[in-house]
Amino acid sequence: RSVASHASQNKSTGFRRLGHVETQYGNVHCIMTRTLKANHPAILTFHDVGLNHKSCFETLFNHQDMHEIIRHFPVCHVEAPGQHEAAKTLPAGHTYPTMDQLSEALPSVLKHFGVIGLGVGAGAYILARFALNHPDLVDGLVLININPSAEGLMDTFATKVDNITSVSNLQDEILTNHDLIATYRHHITTTMNQANVSQFFCSYNHRNALEVERPIPGGNINVRTLKCSTLLIVGDHSPAVDAVVDCNSKLNPTKTTLLKMADCGGLPQVDQPAKVIEAFKYFIQGMGYLSSASMTRLRSRTTSSSSLMSLDGPRSRAHTNELQRSQISSHSNDEKRVRSHTDVSMDSISSVNQSVSKATEVAC
């Protein structure tokens, strides 16, 4: 591994190292904050098509509520070939790596270190593929707007911006988030290398299905599924809702939580960063970290698997008032809470490692 980099000091995130990491599938651009620690995972991010680490994650990581997390974890932002700021056009005849190949490039970035993956859209797909092929390197996944299928709605944000007037289910988002839409349209068209973005998009649009399968109690123990704790996030106004719900239906319900964010569109980490961070904190706490982190209480509800499946029809936010867990264990082994209502505090996300009989959806 060879990293051509330069460093600077940043008060909020500490040591920053920028550079290109050589992999067998070409160079990927990386931004590392702080120093990796043995036996301690790093947060590994991967952006969506049309975005880079700054436009996809800067609002989230610069939010004051995120400081509690980045004080404890080094962060590595990975950018696909040719997607970083001021990127030169890739050479003529260059074969852009497939989604599978991009996932296989990640072990070269953080070799021998476990990661907590945070991905959006295409980045979420790449991290999920990485976790399927290298389960020993992934401690947990937070996947925003993931589509596990090989075909269907072109669901990257870049496409949503390009076709914004023709996607009827984005009308609410257009009306309420027109400034956000304009900002990202400007970013995609003026600061990104359009030729390189096109190649990344084509690679994503020709992806293979993840081919994950929900394990059945008493069934085949060797089914292909994510083995790590996983938090799926989607805005309830996002065109990716159906794809994310479909992904949730294919994953192990004892390790997976679906967070559908109310009044939120296609970029929850930008539109409602505080809520995403809140969920992220509880998720990490459930993995055994940040036990002393200060977190506000966010009210939430759980719903049954059947109500999740109802989202496959007309997009609604109706929820079934059914208690999923009468007893949820928190990070502290001696603290147990008995739930007697549909309303529960959001620390149910921290119990994602506990065995549950049905898929869980948390609405906030």
Average pLDDT value over all residues in the chain: 75
How far is residue 187's CA from residue 69's CA, in Å, rounded to a whole number?
Answer: 28
Q: For residue 324, is pLDDT > 70?
A: no
How far is residue 18's CA from residue 78's CA, in Å, rounded to a whole number?
Answer: 10
Write out pLDDT tens, residues 197-255. Answer: 999 999 999 999 999 999 988 777 788 999 999 999 999 989 999 999 999 999 999 99
- Conformation bin of residue 285: beta by default, left when phi > 0, alpha when psi is -120 to 50: alpha
Q: For residue 354, is pLDDT > 80?
A: no
The reported pLDDT for the residue numbered 177 is: 60
Long-range contacts of 323-331 (CB under 8 A, 24+ apart): 324/356, 324/357, 324/358, 324/360, 325/351, 325/354, 325/356, 325/360, 328/354, 329/354, 331/285, 331/286, 331/288, 331/291
The reported pLDDT for the residue numbered 198 is: 93
pTM to 2 decimal places = 0.76
Q: How confident is the model at residue 106 (pLDDT cuts 50, 70, 90)?
A: very high
Q: Which CATH superfamily is domain 17-289 in?
A: Alpha/Beta hydrolase fold, catalytic domain (3.40.50.1820)
More confident residue, 96 or 298: 96
More confident residue, 303 or 24: 24
More confident residue, 152 or 111: 111
More confident residue, 53 or 183: 53
The reported pLDDT for the residue numbered 335 is: 35
Q: Domain segments of the chain: what residues?
A: 17-289
Residue 181 DSSP symbol: H
> Closest Cα to residue 51, out of 145, 190, 192, 182?
192
Estimate the crossing angle of helix 194-205 against helix 122-133, to 10 degrees.
50
Number of CB atoms found within 10 A of residue 310's CB: 16
Tokens of 64: 């004051």
Whether 141 and 166 have beta carbons less than 8 Å apart is answered as: no
How far is residue 278's CA from residue 261's CA, in Å, rounded to a whole number?
Answer: 12
The reported pLDDT for the residue numbered 362 is: 60
Q: What is the mean pLDDT of residues 171-199?
A: 73
Write out pLDDT tens, residues 51-77. Answer: 999 999 999 999 999 998 998 899 999
Q: Reduce the DSSP state of residue 30 to 3 states and report it.
A: strand
Q: What is the mean pLDDT of residues 121-125?
A: 97
How far is residue 180's CA from residue 172's CA, in Å, rounded to a whole number?
Answer: 13
Q: Which of 62-76, 153-167, 326-340, 348-362 has the lowest mean pLDDT?
A: 326-340
How far is residue 175's CA from residue 266's CA, in Å, rounded to a whole number?
Answer: 13
